[in-house]
Structure 1
Amino acid sequence: MPDIRIHRDHTLGLAKARKVAWSWAEMAEQKFDMECSVLEGETSDTVEFTRTGVNGSLTVAADHFDLHAKLGFLLGAFSKTIERQIEQNLDELLGAAAASNDTQNDPKNGTKAAGAAKPVARKK
Protein backbone atom coordinates (compact mmCIF):
# COMPACT_ATOMS: atom_id res chain seq x y z
CA MET A 1 0.00 0.00 0.00
CA PRO A 2 1.38 3.43 -0.93
CA ASP A 3 1.91 5.85 1.93
CA ILE A 4 1.59 9.61 1.89
CA ARG A 5 3.53 11.56 4.51
CA ILE A 6 3.36 15.33 4.74
CA HIS A 7 5.03 17.52 7.38
CA ARG A 8 4.38 21.24 7.71
CA ASP A 9 5.93 23.53 10.32
CA HIS A 10 3.95 26.58 11.43
CA THR A 11 3.93 29.32 14.06
CA LEU A 12 0.19 29.41 14.76
CA GLY A 13 0.13 27.90 18.23
CA LEU A 14 -2.18 25.06 19.21
CA ALA A 15 -5.48 26.96 19.36
CA LYS A 16 -5.17 28.41 15.85
CA ALA A 17 -3.72 25.14 14.49
CA ARG A 18 -6.79 23.32 15.83
CA LYS A 19 -9.03 25.64 13.80
CA VAL A 20 -7.00 24.85 10.68
CA ALA A 21 -7.24 21.11 11.37
CA TRP A 22 -11.00 21.31 11.95
CA SER A 23 -11.38 23.24 8.68
CA TRP A 24 -9.31 20.60 6.89
CA ALA A 25 -11.47 17.82 8.40
CA GLU A 26 -14.68 19.60 7.36
CA MET A 27 -13.35 19.98 3.82
CA ALA A 28 -12.29 16.31 3.69
CA GLU A 29 -15.74 15.21 4.83
CA GLN A 30 -17.59 17.42 2.34
CA LYS A 31 -15.31 17.17 -0.69
CA PHE A 32 -13.95 13.63 -0.40
CA ASP A 33 -16.68 11.84 1.59
CA MET A 34 -14.24 11.07 4.43
CA GLU A 35 -15.33 10.11 7.89
CA CYS A 36 -13.29 12.25 10.29
CA SER A 37 -12.96 12.26 14.04
CA VAL A 38 -10.99 14.70 16.18
CA LEU A 39 -9.22 13.42 19.28
CA GLU A 40 -8.20 16.39 21.40
CA GLY A 41 -5.18 16.22 23.68
CA GLU A 42 -3.31 18.63 25.94
CA THR A 43 -0.35 19.27 23.65
CA SER A 44 -1.64 17.95 20.32
CA ASP A 45 -4.75 16.72 18.56
CA THR A 46 -5.23 13.92 16.07
CA VAL A 47 -7.70 14.01 13.20
CA GLU A 48 -8.37 10.45 12.08
CA PHE A 49 -9.87 10.05 8.62
CA THR A 50 -11.12 7.11 6.61
CA ARG A 51 -13.12 6.09 3.57
CA THR A 52 -12.98 3.19 1.17
CA GLY A 53 -9.43 2.96 -0.12
CA VAL A 54 -7.77 5.36 2.30
CA ASN A 55 -7.22 5.87 6.01
CA GLY A 56 -4.86 7.99 8.01
CA SER A 57 -4.32 10.68 10.57
CA LEU A 58 -3.35 14.33 10.83
CA THR A 59 -1.43 15.17 14.00
CA VAL A 60 -1.79 18.80 15.03
CA ALA A 61 0.74 20.39 17.39
CA ALA A 62 1.49 23.97 18.38
CA ASP A 63 4.32 24.16 15.84
CA HIS A 64 3.67 21.53 13.15
CA PHE A 65 1.27 19.27 11.27
CA ASP A 66 2.06 15.65 10.38
CA LEU A 67 -0.21 13.81 7.98
CA HIS A 68 0.09 10.11 7.28
CA ALA A 69 -2.26 8.33 4.90
CA LYS A 70 -2.33 4.77 3.60
CA LEU A 71 -3.87 4.31 0.18
CA GLY A 72 -5.47 1.10 -1.00
CA PHE A 73 -4.51 -0.64 -4.21
CA LEU A 74 -6.82 1.28 -6.56
CA LEU A 75 -6.05 4.74 -5.15
CA GLY A 76 -2.35 3.90 -4.99
CA ALA A 77 -2.10 4.47 -8.73
CA PHE A 78 -3.03 8.10 -8.08
CA SER A 79 -0.84 8.63 -5.01
CA LYS A 80 1.19 11.55 -6.44
CA THR A 81 -1.94 13.39 -7.57
CA ILE A 82 -3.65 12.78 -4.22
CA GLU A 83 -0.53 13.91 -2.33
CA ARG A 84 -0.34 17.15 -4.36
CA GLN A 85 -4.03 17.86 -3.69
CA ILE A 86 -3.64 17.28 0.06
CA GLU A 87 -0.54 19.50 0.13
CA GLN A 88 -2.35 22.24 -1.75
CA ASN A 89 -5.40 22.13 0.53
CA LEU A 90 -3.32 22.10 3.71
CA ASP A 91 -0.99 24.85 2.47
CA GLU A 92 -3.96 27.06 1.52
CA LEU A 93 -5.51 26.65 4.96
CA LEU A 94 -2.18 27.28 6.71
CA GLY A 95 -1.50 30.33 4.54
CA ALA A 96 -4.91 31.81 5.26
CA ALA A 97 -4.51 31.17 9.00
CA ALA A 98 -1.04 32.71 9.04
CA ALA A 99 -2.28 35.78 7.15
CA SER A 100 -5.24 36.08 9.52
CA ASN A 101 -2.90 35.67 12.48
CA ASP A 102 -0.65 38.45 11.14
CA THR A 103 -3.63 40.77 10.57
CA GLN A 104 -5.14 40.10 14.00
CA ASN A 105 -1.83 40.68 15.76
CA ASP A 106 -1.20 43.96 13.92
CA PRO A 107 -1.83 46.82 16.38
CA LYS A 108 -2.61 49.13 13.42
CA ASN A 109 -5.50 46.88 12.43
CA GLY A 110 -7.37 47.31 15.71
CA THR A 111 -9.15 43.97 15.44
CA LYS A 112 -9.17 41.08 17.83
CA ALA A 113 -9.44 37.38 17.14
CA ALA A 114 -12.93 35.91 17.09
CA GLY A 115 -13.83 32.91 19.24
CA ALA A 116 -13.38 29.42 17.85
CA ALA A 117 -16.32 27.93 16.02
CA LYS A 118 -17.40 24.43 16.96
CA PRO A 119 -16.02 21.99 14.38
CA VAL A 120 -18.24 19.82 12.23
CA ALA A 121 -15.76 16.95 12.48
CA ARG A 122 -16.15 15.50 15.96
CA LYS A 123 -15.11 12.37 17.75
CA LYS A 124 -17.53 9.74 16.57
Structure 2
Amino acid sequence: MATVDITREHDLGKEQAKERAQKLADKLAQKLDAKCSWEGDQLHFKRSGADGCITVTDADVRVQVKLGMMLTPMAGMVKSEVQKALDKYLA
Protein backbone atom coordinates (compact mmCIF):
# COMPACT_ATOMS: atom_id res chain seq x y z
CA MET A 1 0.00 0.00 0.00
CA ALA A 2 1.36 3.44 -0.96
CA THR A 3 0.49 6.85 0.42
CA VAL A 4 0.75 10.18 -1.37
CA ASP A 5 0.92 13.11 1.07
CA ILE A 6 1.32 16.67 -0.24
CA THR A 7 0.88 19.97 1.61
CA ARG A 8 0.74 23.35 -0.12
CA GLU A 9 0.61 26.74 1.55
CA HIS A 10 -1.90 29.33 0.34
CA ASP A 11 -3.00 32.86 1.12
CA LEU A 12 -6.56 32.53 -0.16
CA GLY A 13 -8.36 32.38 3.16
CA LYS A 14 -10.01 29.22 4.41
CA GLU A 15 -13.37 29.61 2.64
CA GLN A 16 -11.89 30.30 -0.79
CA ALA A 17 -9.40 27.45 -0.31
CA LYS A 18 -12.34 25.15 0.55
CA GLU A 19 -14.16 26.23 -2.63
CA ARG A 20 -11.08 25.42 -4.68
CA ALA A 21 -10.60 22.11 -2.85
CA GLN A 22 -14.18 21.28 -3.86
CA LYS A 23 -13.28 21.94 -7.51
CA LEU A 24 -10.29 19.63 -7.12
CA ALA A 25 -12.53 17.00 -5.55
CA ASP A 26 -15.08 17.36 -8.36
CA LYS A 27 -12.30 16.66 -10.84
CA LEU A 28 -11.16 13.65 -8.81
CA ALA A 29 -14.71 12.35 -8.56
CA GLN A 30 -15.21 12.62 -12.30
CA LYS A 31 -11.81 11.22 -13.27
CA LEU A 32 -11.64 8.43 -10.70
CA ASP A 33 -15.33 7.75 -10.13
CA ALA A 34 -14.82 8.60 -6.46
CA LYS A 35 -17.41 9.51 -3.83
CA CYS A 36 -16.69 12.77 -1.96
CA SER A 37 -18.10 14.30 1.23
CA TRP A 38 -17.15 17.15 3.57
CA GLU A 39 -16.69 16.61 7.29
CA GLY A 40 -15.81 19.97 8.82
CA ASP A 41 -12.65 21.19 7.06
CA GLN A 42 -11.86 17.77 5.59
CA LEU A 43 -13.09 16.51 2.27
CA HIS A 44 -13.04 12.72 2.20
CA PHE A 45 -13.01 10.76 -1.04
CA LYS A 46 -13.19 7.05 -1.68
CA ARG A 47 -13.23 4.65 -4.59
CA SER A 48 -12.28 1.06 -5.09
CA GLY A 49 -8.54 0.78 -4.47
CA ALA A 50 -7.98 4.33 -3.20
CA ASP A 51 -9.19 6.70 -0.53
CA GLY A 52 -8.02 9.86 1.16
CA CYS A 53 -8.81 13.36 2.25
CA ILE A 54 -8.14 17.00 1.52
CA THR A 55 -7.66 19.05 4.69
CA VAL A 56 -8.05 22.83 4.44
CA THR A 57 -6.66 25.26 7.02
CA ASP A 58 -6.20 29.03 6.99
CA ALA A 59 -2.61 28.57 5.78
CA ASP A 60 -2.42 25.36 3.76
CA VAL A 61 -4.13 22.51 1.95
CA ARG A 62 -3.03 18.93 2.56
CA VAL A 63 -3.92 16.08 0.23
CA GLN A 64 -3.49 12.53 1.46
CA VAL A 65 -4.22 9.58 -0.81
CA LYS A 66 -3.91 5.93 0.22
CA LEU A 67 -3.55 3.58 -2.71
CA GLY A 68 -4.44 -0.08 -2.53
CA MET A 69 -2.09 -2.79 -3.70
CA MET A 70 -3.33 -2.73 -7.30
CA LEU A 71 -2.78 1.04 -7.62
CA THR A 72 0.53 1.22 -5.73
CA PRO A 73 2.60 1.09 -8.96
CA MET A 74 0.82 4.30 -10.03
CA ALA A 75 1.86 6.27 -6.92
CA GLY A 76 4.33 8.45 -8.84
CA MET A 77 1.74 9.38 -11.44
CA VAL A 78 -0.89 10.08 -8.76
CA LYS A 79 1.55 12.33 -6.89
CA SER A 80 2.37 14.23 -10.07
CA GLU A 81 -1.32 14.72 -10.93
CA VAL A 82 -2.13 15.94 -7.41
CA GLN A 83 0.77 18.42 -7.53
CA LYS A 84 -0.40 19.76 -10.90
CA ALA A 85 -3.96 20.08 -9.64
CA LEU A 86 -2.84 21.93 -6.50
CA ASP A 87 -0.75 24.29 -8.63
CA LYS A 88 -3.82 24.98 -10.78
CA TYR A 89 -6.44 25.36 -8.06
CA LEU A 90 -4.39 27.22 -5.46
CA ALA A 91 -2.83 29.75 -7.87
Q: Report TM bin, short chain.
A: over 0.9
Secondary structure, in 3 states, of the residue corresponding to 1:7? strand
Structure 1 segment 75-90 matched on structure 2, within 5 A:
75-90=71-86
Runs of 4+ in structure 1 over 2 Å off: none
Distance in 2, matches of 1:63 and 1:57, equals 17
Larger radius of gyration: 1
Q: Unaligned 5+ residue runs, structure 2?
A: none
State the alpha-carbon separation in 2 of the partners of residues 15 and 21 from structure 1.
Answer: 10
Identical counterparts, % of pairs: 31
The answer for unaligned runs of 5 or more in structure 1 is 96-124
Q: What is the aligned residue count?
A: 91
Match of 2:10 in 1: 10
TM-score by length of 1: 0.70
- The structure with more strand, counted as a fraction of residues: 2
Task: Note the aligned Cα RMSD (angstroms).
Answer: 0.9
**CA apart distance, 1:62:** 1.2
Q: 2:88 aligns with which of 89, 92, 97?
A: 92
